[in-house]
Structure 1
């Protein structure tokens, strides 16, 4: 049974009241998920009136809004009074819990969880177990671990998480950057929204280049050509592909050279044939795979002749680079 249920069954039952918008304090920090009213909410309130009360704490001089900010804003636009359910005097922690519980059943985004956890973490002597239960966060879950890592970042990064520019999965990697380097990384996410895998890869490669070369993040980004890529008028997808390519080249220069040489040789020797040539294990060995798809005996005879011509070439070294680099 949650706190609101307990209060509803207590001797001092919550009471209903009507308030003018100007009478309600609406700026509490526990309203951490507040957003402007949606068109559908505005339309419903205009056509059908307020069907659900907002929650307030009327234990002080003025009622304090505990939940229902969007409804209050929409009703204020309509010039109507607000139907309120007074929960009585509540602590800041109880207000936060009531706010979360009033949104029970919603699928919370990673950004919403971070905003809520920042609020509860800032309170003295908070019952974090109650907060986690209200947020439906398991105490030993990976998601909670990542949220706690994210909380070590400056609050301005919450906007990147909220818009989806940076996935929560990056929290561990981002946490490892020093403040100055972390600030330089923001340029990657101001206009680009990264998938989980690509974001983790590019941040990991940048951190490893910094550690290997003793370079700052800004120096690495300058080497990647980030500003030039962003100014080139590319689509976001193409811009991220370029950044990933350049970052990987700098993180794995030897491997990149081997891949380039292999691709050039494979293309040269297989052009005009049915054969496909690949390196199957990221150059952990000199293994090469040649494959062909056939539909007739004549095709088999022709492919065999093509393979013989390939084997007779003298420019095959690029297919077997291990040990030469």
Structure 2
């Protein structure tokens, strides 16, 4: 009678077999190879000097073998004439109990071949740092095979540590249109904003896409912008997309502004949607205060929210001479015709006509 050890060894030999294949006989862009990338210079150098030191994984189907892992190695060896790809044949069947046909894990038998291919690929990449964009690419693949919760139950342990909050964020992100994945990969939109974006109506998200692609958003800045848009739309009683078109924010995209200036301009335009009067007063106050304090070290600040007709004068000095100069400057300000206008800026009927006045862009 065959011993248990022999049966186990036979099972292992039936599951894993060494193979030597022509690299061009394999599909290196199959969907389950969701992290596939061109070979880098270090891999090319290693193959040229040491040869292939790590085998790829393939699944034999009776027809064309399926590459389960090792797409970069296969792609690199395609460029080397006469090279073959060393691989191990693995089975898509789950781990079997040597004493019975049923899977050791009761749920294992229900895993589809497509899902198992993805899991084999993840297992072959254990230890690799998983970026947010990589997690989403894996999540998209598994979500296409079944419910998102099932996808995360199977793939999650390969992607995240047990206490990693990105698992929850990934579930929210996978409800978003795949077009946003490129913005995550480019660093324009963070994974942490998944919940914020998932809560938006589809038409609002569509209207936001040009701004999402133009600015590198932090979660905080995007949260503030979305709050301003939502509140402004609610107060105005019109769709957010209509307000965005009126805001002038998208008009800034083609002006060749620096990234910092573009971000500041877009945020200012969106804040102006929500607080048109306040931003108008701020612009008017800024123009008048610059005129009042021109040539001095004095900084002029308004009252909180322009709630009182008062200003705060602030100076920073390093020696008595600077203090004397600041005192003289403030004495001159007391007789400036600009000061009364500054003190009553919230009561002026018409905005200042200068370049910084009014509510316009």
TM-score, normalised relative to structure 2 = 0.75
Matched, 1:114 2:117: no
Asked if structure 2 preserves the Cα contact closer than 8 Å seen for 1:37 and 1:73, the reply is yes
- Please state whether the residue corresponding to 1:84 is helix, strand or coil: strand
Write out aligned runs for 1:25-174 (5 A): 25-58=27-60, 60-79=62-81, 80-90=83-93, 91-124=113-146, 126=150, 128-138=152-162, 141-174=164-197
Query: Structure 2 residue aligned with 1:262, among 254, 276, 285?
Result: 285
After superposition, the Cα gap between the structure-2 partners of 1:282 and 1:133, relative to the gap in structure 1 and judged at 3 Å, is farther
After superposition, the Cα gap between the structure-2 partners of 1:152 and 1:248, relative to the gap in structure 1 and judged at 3 Å, is same
Aligned match of 2:237: 214
- Please state whether the residue corresponding to 1:28 is helix, strand or coil: coil
Aligned pairs, how many? 316
Q: Deviations over 1:57-112 (max 9, x none)?
A: 22554321111111111212224211112222243333222212322222222111
**C-alpha distance in 2 between matches for 1:102 and 1:154:** 28
Q: Which stretches in structure 1 are left out of the alignment for 5+ residues?
A: 1-7
Give 1:27 deviation, angstroms.
4.2
**C-alpha distance in 1 between matches for 2:184 and 2:11:** 43
Q: Which stretches in structure 2 are left out of the alignment for 5+ residues?
A: 1-7, 94-112, 350-361
**C-alpha distance in 2 between matches for 1:89 and 1:28:** 16
Asked if structure 2 preserves the Cα contact closer than 8 Å seen for 1:164 and 1:193, the reply is no
**C-alpha distance in 2 between matches for 1:273 and 1:226:** 34
CA RMSD for the aligned pairs?
Answer: 3.2
Deviates further, 144-153 or 127-136: 127-136
Aligned match of 2:295: 272
Q: Deviations over 1:250-304 (max 9, x none)?
A: 2221220221232223223222333222348555777744222233334434433
Larger Rg over CA atoms: 2
- Please state whether the residue corresponding to 1:246 is helix, strand or coil: helix
TM-score, normalised relative to structure 1 = 0.82
Aligned match of 2:3: none
